[in-house]
A = this chain, B = another copy of it.
Amino acid sequence: MSAIRVPVVEKIFSANDRMAELNRNLLNSHNIFSINLMASPGAGKTSFILETIKRLNHSLRIGVIEGDTAPVTIDADKIIAAGMPAVQINTGGDCHLEASMMSDGLNQLPLDDLDLVIVENVGNLICPAAWDLGTHINVLIASVPEGDDKPYKYPNIYRGLKVLVVNKTDLAPFVKFDMDYFRQGVEMLNPGLVTFPLSCRTGDGFDKWIEWLITQVHAHQQTS
């Protein structure tokens, strides 16, 4: 998001919303559940996806769309090495994914063979919040070494979340992070938000996320 507030921007948002709806319809027609995964740079999005793939152990078929600001395939390569299809979308320096980019990604994934599509958005706590991609839920990864004041300082991204992951709990002994203060900020913005404190590094707390994810995907597949 930039400070530009002119009619052309409203048209772009409106076009984005229409494209997002088409993406969602496409996913539903293939009985696929989809997650828009957001976080600041280095909070552990790719590690989180890799650990999710590992723990699901092929019980769900996952496709990944990797959003990057540069033409580097570091993250997509890791997903493919983990045995799942992945597509890299290079935003060309832009700060967020848009529904049209997600559409390009979906067109390159084997949708008939998937239960779940995870979109790893560009690392950014601000701009991605404004763009519906056509996924079913927004998930944010906060990270313990980022500090406990982020809900207060980046409130918009917390408002549209279905799930919050608090990663790198293994670093809590070495940094200042008051979980009560953090949770109070989150509660103010998004009361009752489902939250999973966990560590991708040690695996602590990951089981609950996996259990929740499987339930959500199955529930979606039974209703769509």
A contacts, CB < 8 Å to B: 1-4, 6, 8-9, 12, 40-42, 68-70, 72, 74-75, 91, 93-96, 98, 122-127, 143, 145-147, 149-150, 152-156, 168, 170-171, 174-175, 201
Number of copies of this protein chain within its complex = 2
- Contact B4–A8 (Cβ < 8 Å): yes
Interface class of chain A by DSSP: loop
A-B contact pairs, 21 of them (CB 8 A): A1-B94, A2-B4, A2-B9, A2-B127, A3-B94, A3-B98, A4-B8, A4-B12, A41-B125, A41-B146, A41-B150, A41-B153, A42-B145, A69-B126, A70-B155, A74-B153, A94-B126, A95-B95, A122-B126, A123-B153, A126-B127
Q: Which residues of B contact A123 (CB under 8 A)?
A: 40, 125, 153-154
A9-B4, A147-B42 known; A156+B125 contact, CB < 8 A: no
